[in-house]
A and B are shown apart, each in its own frame.
Chain A
Amino acid sequence: MKYAYFPGCSLKGTGRAYEESLLPVLRHLGVEVQEIEDWNCCGATAYMAVDEGKACAAAARNLALAERTGLQQMLAPCSACYLVLNKAQHYLNEYPAMRRVVTRALDSLGLQCRGDTAVRHPLDVLLNDVGLDAIRQKVTRPLTGLRVAPYYGCQIVRPYATFDDQANPTTMDRLLEALGATVVHWPLKTKCCGGSLTGTLPEAGLRLSYILLKEALKRGADVIATVCPLCQFNLDAYHAKIAARWEPVRIPTVYFSQLMGLAFGLAADQTVLHRSMVPLRFQPAPVART
């Protein structure tokens, strides 16, 4: 199994814990990734707000570079990248006019985009390509007793989700259960965290993060597991502000890949739990495997 890998800007910045924990986990499971050379920012939601043609072109440059690797599948761990790259592909295939513009623009860089690379999320790859059985085999320190609220956020299931249910996704639930954790019933798993509004309009944006944290605590979760660097940031970084505005709702938020590393017994520099501002203090005990 080998995938072209599109890290995206966040995974090199505030979301570095995602990459730092995901790559060792994939390696541990025998999944090879090849970082796309000279990838650029996917455009995220901000670019769509300015010019969809350019947003599409920016995303298409990455698709074109991915096609150059000769790999048919592309891994995009960040939710925004996953959405934008998928969306660009939909647009290119649905709207011939858009395709014409983008094709010519890429031409000027000597690039071609066929638009047939499958853009996939790590959850999709882990469950459908690697499989839960293979994952269970690698669990040496089951997360017994850890109560996890799985948080999918919005953009991996909407609107282009193909690998999971839009209203009630379960891939991460199943993954966490395979790690030995207890999954908390939490009806907010696909609600919005506030996105970039936490920074631009804190009153509105932070309130959404606050609701998520509050409800997770109320349902008895020890930790929130996330798949998106922006969600992680919003749920992790603003506790002081949230406490000042509403009430303290301290609960750690980590990437699902960090929990996988923990269950696989990977080293601390591969689970990078120290990157969270609200630390997860949980050390699973090893089990003797027969």
Chain B
Amino acid sequence: MKAKRDEVRIGFYVCHCGHNIAAMVDCAAVARYIATLPGVVLSRDYKYMCSDPGQELIQQDIREYGLNRVVVASCSPLLHEHTFRGAVTAGGLNPYFFHMVNIREHDSWVHTDRVLATEKAKDLARAAVERVVHHKPLEIKKVPIHPDVLVVGGGIAGIHAALTLANAGKKVFLVEREPSIGGHMAKFDKTFPTLDCAACILTPKMSEVGSHPNITLWTWSEVVKVDGYVGNYTVQIKRKARYVIEDLCTGCQDCIAHCVYKEPKFDDLFNERLGKRKPVYIPFPQATPQVVLIDPEVCLNFKRNKNPDGTPVVSDKCKKTCVEACGEKRAIDFTQKDQVVEIKVGTILVCTGFKTFDARRVPAYGYGVYPNVYTALEVERLVNASGPTGGQVVLRQGTNPDGSPKNPRSIGIIHCVGSRDKKTNLWCSRVCCMYSMKLAHLLKEHTGAEIYNFYIDIRTPGKGYEEFYNKLLEEGTHFIRGRVGEVTDWAMTPEEEGKLVIRVEDTLAGVVRRIPVDMVVLATGLEPQADADAVRRLFNMSCGGDGWFLERHPKLAPVNTFTDGVFLAGCCQGPKDIPDTVAQAGAAAAEALALIDKGYVEQEPNTAHILDAECSGCKSCIPLCPYTAILFDETRQKAYINEALCKGCGTCVGSCPSGSIVQNLFEDAEIFSEIAGVLADEPVAAGRPGNLTQAAIP
């Protein structure tokens, strides 16, 4: 150990990061102090270490001063470790002769006392200097990448990403849980701010997905299990029974026409329950794939009770006019079961989207109590020409003087429902201002009604968005700045009779108003999917405190996750509009492509290995490894680690009773010297403080 210490030549650099570090840490003092430590031949402070001149400085110093260890105290290693390892390599050293100290995120940014923050920086830097002595040269491992990609979720994000990848010649599996791809966008009538028809821009992409030779589209399917690691994932997908053989169905829909139910009778979920469908159905006319499915919950050919495994029981009680109508195609199969298929892919794109806020959670707005209170998504269907009313805006309750269903003459649109509220969701859902204005425009166009927008703040940060707001103002739509207090049906004045009354403070005028309307539209916010937490676990991702999937870094790695090879796109990462979603999907696809075309991934060589001579063969490590990377050689009675399977968690190392397992980059000697380093008042002498600790270990 002592001899080694004499051989090391450490270069130490402390970064000012402009004022980010220098304002709270006396960088020069840190550099002066570190210079006094044994083994340190050079100690510098510099304004921006990550800049080109900063990196060149390291390279020059390595050559000029013969450095064989480098320590940089700057930001988080999660941000720039890679950068500095590159600089060290360029200087001619093995990149693992480097260690990084975090004195920005963990020090200057979180403390308020310059003296104490500087002391902390010295402690952390000293620990790194102690640690780096023990570093060894390591080889970067290269793992080949399977070129196929899994895209989870067939909304606009998944569709765009899948097409980008497929057009680049990659094989893509697109898995969607609903019977058709299209997601929320397929339900929209128009898109803001250009007002182009959502179907017109989406359906060509949907059919391209359906017919693309490189895309395997599995709808009505869910990912149930993910194993493996970047480049080599094994994924199990449950293909739920449709009771229709996909390959045989031509989408002629004769079965629907001939169903024993003459009229549609069951809630049409695609139309937000505003319309009805039959037990055999296709979710919407442009659905992709054009394949029908049967709902066993309501189909007469199934019993209402289930098998013990949850699968429906065929009753055979129905006349099966659908089968008759299908005729020679024989696509209907009541005995179909859920199937699990397994695929191998190298990368995964998670594009699982969002759900809309449940308006019932804000009881003051009367959704579910007053029939003429609608959610925005319901109104999207109501104004849609292919919607349940053929684009007629008619209310659930009330009639016109001629007895026809009532058309609203006045409409209140309440923004921020469920958003910006500590009791529900604190975040701004980003799209509600714009879609509310879009709906205001469409509703005015369809009905000529007076439209009131009730908003807290109008947020139009997008290309052409403020111009759209301006257009709405020109159209005479009323904008009232105030969060609505309540929607009620009791009248105080004659003109309020029979209306929904919105009570609100017009905060700009400074008066409380009561505004009677025929229809209330709730601009519900966006929320993580109900099962986001389960999905996150499936792909080993993280969620933010608000439940959205967490990107690796909001600015530098916005589509990466903490799991290599798993990427994010669309609203599953946070609320965003269609342009941003498509841009992000393209970015995620590009990240995946970059990985695939490189052909391999470099892996941190932080794997573990067993020192043969010291292994006692107790086997206690074997069940600890979650990757079954530890094997046992019966003839030699020794354990050994398959380094290809090892992920480098170090759990086995932490529990080996004989201390015979070594984790690269996290060797015991490295960690003990780091402990000693942060605590030492004096430069550390090599070795442990005493044998109490050893004696104490049972």
Q: Do chains A and B touch in the complex (CB under 8 A)?
A: yes
Q: Closest chain A residue to B366 by CB distance?
A: A187
Whether the pair A187, B363 counts as a contact (CB closer than 8 A) is no
B363 to A, closest residue via Cβ: A167
Which positions 67-98 of chain B face chain A at CB distance < 8 Å?
none
A-B contact count (CB 8 A): 11
Asked if B364 contacts A187 (CB within 8 A), the reply is: no
Instruction: Evaluate contact between A211 and B363: CB separation under 8 angstroms.
Output: no
Partner of B489, one of A167, A187, A211: A187
Give Cα A211–Cα B488 distance, bound, in whole angstroms.
Answer: 13
Contacts of A187 in B (CB 8 A): 488-490
CB pair B363 A168 closer than 8 Å: yes
Contact indicator B492/A211 (Cβ below 8 Å): yes
* Contact between A167 and B364, CB atoms less than 8 A apart: yes
A152-165: CB near B (< 8 Å → 1, else 0) gives 00000000000001
Q: Which residues of A contact B363 (CB under 8 A)?
A: 165, 167-168
Query: Contact: B364 with A188, CB < 8 Å?
Result: no
Enumerate chain B residues within 8 angstroms of A218, measured Cβ to Cβ: 490
Report the bound CA distance from A211 to B501 in whole Å: 15
Contacts of B490 in A (CB 8 A): 187-188, 215, 218
When C-beta atoms are compared, the residue in chain B nearest to A219 turns out to be: B490
- The smallest C-beta distance from A202 to any residue of chain B, in angstroms, reads 19
Q: Give the most central of A165, A167, A211: most B CB within 10 Å.
A: A167
Bits for A121-145, please: 1 = Cβ < 8 Å to B, else 0: 0000000000000000000000000
The complex places the Cα of A168 from the Cα of B370 at a distance, in Å, of 14
In chain B, residues 459-518, which have Cβ atoms closer than 8 Å to a Cβ of chain A? 488-490, 492
Nearest residue (CB) in B for A187 is: B488
Task: Encode B263-284 as 1/0 by CB contact (under 8 A) with A.
Answer: 0000000000000000000000
Closest Cβ–Cβ distance, residue B490 to chain A (whole Å): 5
Shortest C-beta distance, B483 to chain A (Å), equals 16
Cβ of B489: which chain A residues have Cβ within 8 Å of it? 187
Query: In whole angstroms, how far apart are the Cα atoms of A215 and B490 in the complex?
Result: 7
Q: What residues of chain B lie closer than 8 Å to A188, measured between beta carbons?
A: 490
How many interface residues does chain B have, given as a range?
under 10
| Alpha-carbon distance A215/B489, docked complex (angstroms) | 11
Q: Hey, which chain A residues are within 8 Å of B488, CB to CB?
A: 187
Q: Determine the distance from Cα of A218 to Cα of B491 in the docked complex, in whole angstroms.
A: 10
A215 to B492 Cα, complex, angstroms: 9
Q: How far is the CA of A167 from the CA of B360 in the complex (A)?
A: 11
- Closest residue to B487 on the A side, CB-wise? A187
A54 CA to B490 CA, complexed, in Å? 41
> Chain B residue with minimal CB distance to A166?
B363
Task: Kindly supply a per-residue 1/0 record for chain B positions 519-547, scoring 1 wherever the CB is within 8 Å of any chain A CB and 0 otherwise.
Answer: 00000000000000000000000000000
Which chain A residue shows the least CB distance to B489? A187
With the chains together, A165 CA to B369 CA distance in Å? 15
Say how far B146's CB is from chain A's closest CB, in angstroms: 53
Residues of B within 8 Å of A215, CB to CB, are: 490
Q: Mark A183-196, 1 if CB is under 8 A from B, else 0.
A: 00001100000000
Bound Cα distance A211, B493 (Å): 12
Q: What is the CB-to-nearest-CB distance from A244 to chain B, in angstroms, rounded to a whole number?
A: 19
Query: Smallest Cβ distance from B489 to chain A, in angstroms?
Result: 6
> How close is A14's CB to chain B, nearest CB, in angstroms?
28
Please give, as numbers and ranges, the residues of chain B lying within 8 Å of A167 by CB-CB distance: 363-364
Cα A165 to Cα B363 with chains together (Å): 10
Closest to B492 in A: A211
How many angstroms from the CA of A211 to the CA of B490 in the assembled complex? Answer: 10
A142–B492 Cα gap in the complex (Å)?
A: 35
Chain A nearest CB from B364 CB (Å) reads: 6
Residues of chain A contacted by B364 (CB below 8 angstroms): 167
* CA A165 to CA B360, docked complex, whole Å: 13
Alpha-carbon separation in the docked complex, A211 to B514 (Å): 15
Per-residue contact bits, chain B 151-192, to A (CB 8 Å; 1 contact, 0 not): 000000000000000000000000000000000000000000
Shortest distance between the CB of B332 and any CB in chain A (Å): 46
Expressed in whole angstroms, the minimum distance between the Cβ of B418 and any Cβ of chain A is: 14
Tell me the nearest residue of chain A to B362, going by C-beta.
A167
A164 to B93, CA, bound (A): 69
CB contacts under 8 Å to A, within B332-380, are 363-364
In the bound complex, CA of A165 to CA of B489 (Å): 20
The CA of A32 and the CA of B492, in the complex, are separated in Å by 45
Instruction: Provide the bound-state CA to CA distance between A114 and B150, in Å.
Output: 59
Which residues of chain A from 210 to 263 have a CB within 8 Å of any chain B CB?
A: 211, 215, 218
For the complex, what is the distance from the CA of A165 to the CA of B364, rounded to whole Å? 12
- Taking CB atoms, residues of chain B closer than 8 Å to A168 are 363
Least Cβ–Cβ distance between A199 and chain B, in angstroms = 23
Nearest CB of chain B from residue A242's CB, rounded to whole Å: 15
Complex-state Cα separation, A215 to B501, whole angstroms? 14
Question: How close is B358's CB to chain A, nearest CB, in angstroms?
Answer: 14
Q: Which residue of chain B lies nearest to A215 when distances are taken between CB atoms in the complex?
A: B490
- Point out which of A165, A187, A211 has the most chain B C-beta atoms below 10 A from its C-beta: A187
B363, B488, B489, B490 — most chain A CB neighbours (10 Å): B490
Closest A residue, CB atoms, query B370: A187
How many Å lie between the Cα of A187 and that of B492 in the bound state? Answer: 13
How many Å lie between the Cα of A218 and that of B498 in the bound state? 13
Question: Which B residues are in CB contact (< 8 Å) with A211?
Answer: 492
Q: Identify the closest chain A residue to B490 (Cβ).
A: A215
A188 closest partner in B (C-beta): B490
Closest to B488 in A: A187
User: Closest Cβ of chain A: how far from B181's Cβ, in Å?
Assistant: 38
Which A10-26 residues have C-beta < 8 A from chain B?
none
Docked CA distance A187–B489 (Å): 8
Closest to B364 in A: A167
- Give Cα A167 to B488, complex, Å: 12
A122 to B489 Cα, complex, angstroms: 30
Please, what's the 1-or-0 string for B424-462, where 1 marks a CB less than 8 Å from any CB in chain A? Answer: 000000000000000000000000000000000000000
Q: Within the assembled complex, what's the spacing in Å between the Cα atoms of A167 and B368?
A: 14
The CA of A218 and the CA of B496, in the complex, are separated in Å by 14
Which parts of B22-64 form the interface with A (CB within 8 Å)? none
Nearest to A218 among chain B residues (CB) is B490
- Alpha-carbon gap, A113 to B489, bound state (A): 46
Task: Report the separation of the CA atoms of residues A264 and B18 in the bound assembly, to the nearest whole angstrom.
Answer: 81
Given the complex of chains A and B, what is the CA–CA distance between A167 and B362 in angstroms?
9
- Bound complex: CA of A188 vs CA of B488, how far in Å? 9
Provide the bound-state CA to CA distance between A188 and B363, in Å. Answer: 13
Docked pose: A218 CA to B363 CA in angstroms: 23
Smallest beta-carbon distance B51→chain A, Å: 50
In this complex, what residue of B is CB-closest to A211?
A: B492
Contacts of B492 in A (CB 8 A): 211
Q: How far is the CA of A193 from the CA of B363 in the complex (A)?
A: 21
Complexed CA–CA distance, A211 and B363 (Å) = 21
Q: How far is the CB of A158 from chain B (nearest CB, A)?
A: 12
Within A73-92, which residues are at the interface with B (CB < 8 Å)?
Answer: none
A226 to B26, CA, bound (A): 69
CB distance from B417 to the nearest CB of A (A): 14
Nearest chain A CB to B111 CB, angstrom units: 27
Q: Complex formed: what's the CA distance from A67 to B330 in Å?
A: 76
A165: chain B residues at CB < 8 Å are: 363
Other A-B contacts than A188-B490, A211-B492, A215-B490, 8 sampled, CB-CB below 8 A, are A165-B363, A167-B363, A167-B364, A168-B363, A187-B488, A187-B489, A187-B490, A218-B490
Which A residues fall within an 8 A CB radius of B?
165, 167-168, 187-188, 211, 215, 218
In the complex, 8 of the A-B residue pairs with CB atoms within 8 angstroms, ordered by the A residue number, are A165-B363, A167-B363, A167-B364, A168-B363, A187-B489, A187-B490, A188-B490, A215-B490
B residues adjacent to A (C-beta < 8 A): 363-364, 488-490, 492
Q: 3 closest Cβ contacts across the A-B interface? A: A167-B363, A215-B490, A187-B488
